[in-house]
Amino acid sequence: MKPAPFDYVRPGSVEEACRILSEAGGGATVIAGGQTLMPLLNLRMSQPFVLVDINGIAQLKGVTRVEGGTRVGPATRQADALGDKTLARHLPAFITALGHVGHYQTRNRGTIGGSVALGEPAAEMPATAVALGAHIEIASIRGSRMVPADAFYIGPYMTVLEPDELVTGIVYPDWPDGHLVLFREVAQRPGDFALVGLVGALEVEGGVIRRAGIAWFGMGPTPIRARQAEAALTGASLTGIDAPGVARAAVADTAPFDDHHASAEYRRTVGARIFARCLRETLDIRSAA
């Protein structure tokens, strides 16, 4: 199980990286932590001509506060992000989800950008970006653009990223202090991709939900925003929430697969349950409908 041959380059800047990607004409693949890409290379499921290592680009690392939000450099190691005080303060849902990504050893090498950009539909970080309303910052020699996370993913391991483009940042908007975190994951072993999972945030003010951002993972070809559930929750009074009803609405937006670990019906059935339970427990709704 050895990779097919490739050239390796380690650019020192975003500009240089973009130039290499452009010149490669689609034959280049970006490696950051490599925790998902390296298995694909070893199995020869990915056979690029050029591997572009972005670990040497300082500007792609680290967490910074930006206008109205927090920007995470794609080459930031997952383990570093887990211990980051800014993220802990502003994006508790991000930290909760990240704790479920891979294992200690893979988080030590794996990056936020790698997880977000590869778009595994059952992974935590793409869904977290969708749920929290993040934007993906993309650069190429043609210029730069921002893509909302829920428009970024188009299929399993497929995104709108063009072959000459590089993810240069993930910008998560601020949620107000004291917002509530939704997170549930059903996986057979720690570190496995989810059979079904959900992540989200709720802004509550005066007993009323002002804003809801929720996404599923493992429930379709991409991370899936629970739009109907978000709509049902937004503006709802905490005392009047029909958790099972909202959960059904949430599941209505999904399109899960069958595989030998779980059927689509299992994912829908259990998805509705963990959604309802997560709502009840997070909102402390004592009189369950």
Partner 1 sequence: MSEHRIELTVNGHRHAALVEARTSLGEFLREELGYTGTHLACEHGVCGACTVMVDGVAMRSCLMLAVQANGGAVTTVEGLAEPDGTLHPVQQALKDNFGLQCGFCTPGVAITMAAVTRENEGAGAGQIEKALTAAMSGHICRCTGYQGIRRAIRQLAGATT
Partner 2 sequence: MNIHAKSVGAVRYVGSRQPRKEDGRLLTGRGQFTDDIRLPGMLHIAYVRSAAARGRIVSIDMDAAREMPGVHAIYTQADLAAVPVAMQTFFFTPIEAPVTLLADGRVACVGDPIAMVIADSRALAEDAASLVEVVIEEETPVVTIADAKTGPLVHPDRDDNISAEMGDEDTREAIQPLLDGCAHVVSTRIRHQRIAQSPMEGRACVASPEGAGEMTVWIGCQSPHLAARYIALVLGLPAEALRVIAKDVGGGFGLKNIPWREEVAVIVAAKLLGRPLKWIEDRFEALTASSHARDQDVSLTVGFDGEGHLQAAWCDYACNNGAWPMGEDANIAVHMFMWPAYKLPAYGFVTRGWYTNTMGLGAYRGPWAMESLVRETLLDKAARKIGIDPVELRRRNLVYLTDQPHTSTLGIPVTDITPGECLEKLVASIDLAAFRKEQVEARKQGRYLGIGIATYIEPTGAAGSMAPMTGETVHLRIEPTGKVVAMLSTHSQGHGTATTMAQVIAQQLGVAYEDVAVYEGDSAIGAFSPGAAGSRQGVIAGGATWRAAEMLADKVKVVAAHLSNASVEAITIQGGMVHVAGAPEMTRSLREIAEIAYGEPGRLPEGAATGLEAQYRYQPPPMTMTSAAHCCMVEVDAETGFVKILRWISSEDCGTVINPGVVEGQIAGGLAQAIGQVLLEDMPYDARGNPLAPTFKDYLMPAISDVPDFEYLHASTPSQTIGGMRGVGEGGCIIGPPTLVNAIADALSPFGEIEELVLPLTPARVLDVIEGRDISGTRAHLEGGASAAVEAVLPVEVAAPAAAGGIDGDWNMILKTPMGPQVMVAHFDTDGSAVSGYLEAPEGRQDFAGGTLSGRQVKFEMKVEKPMKITLKYDLLFDGDSMSGKCKMGMFGSAKVSGERA
- In the complex, the smallest distance separating the C-beta of residue 194 from partner 2, rounded to whole angstroms, is 12
Which of 97/243 has CB closer to partner 1? 97
Site string for partner 1, 46-75 (x = CB under 8 A): -----x-x-x--------------------
Site string for partner 1, 141-180 (x = CB under 8 A): ----------------------------------------
| CA-based nearest residue to 169, from 201, 191, 186, 145 | 145
Which of 3/245 has CB closer to partner 1? 3
Give 91's contacts (C-beta < 8 A, 6+ positions apart). Answer: 70, 132, 172, 175
**CA-to-CA separations, 82 to 93, 110, 183, 231, in angstroms, rounded:** 11, 12, 16, 31
In the chain, which ranges are continuous DSSP H helix? 14-24, 37-42, 78-82, 85-90, 92-98, 104-107, 112-118, 124-132, 149-152, 227-233, 243-252, 264-283
Which of 43/146 has CB closer to partner 1? 43
Pick from 11, 20, 21, 35: which binds partner 1 (CB under 8 A)?
Answer: 35
Residues touching partner 1, count (CB under 8 A): 31
Which of 59/269 has CB closer to partner 2? 269
b/e code 88-113 from CB counts within 10 Å (16+ = b): eebbbbbbbbbebbbeeebbebbbbb
The option from partner 1, partner 2, none interacting with 65 (CB < 5 to 8 A, set by class) reads none
Where along the sequence are the contacts to partner 1 (CB under 8 A)? 1-10, 34-35, 38-39, 41-43, 51, 53, 55, 79, 102-106, 108-109, 189-191
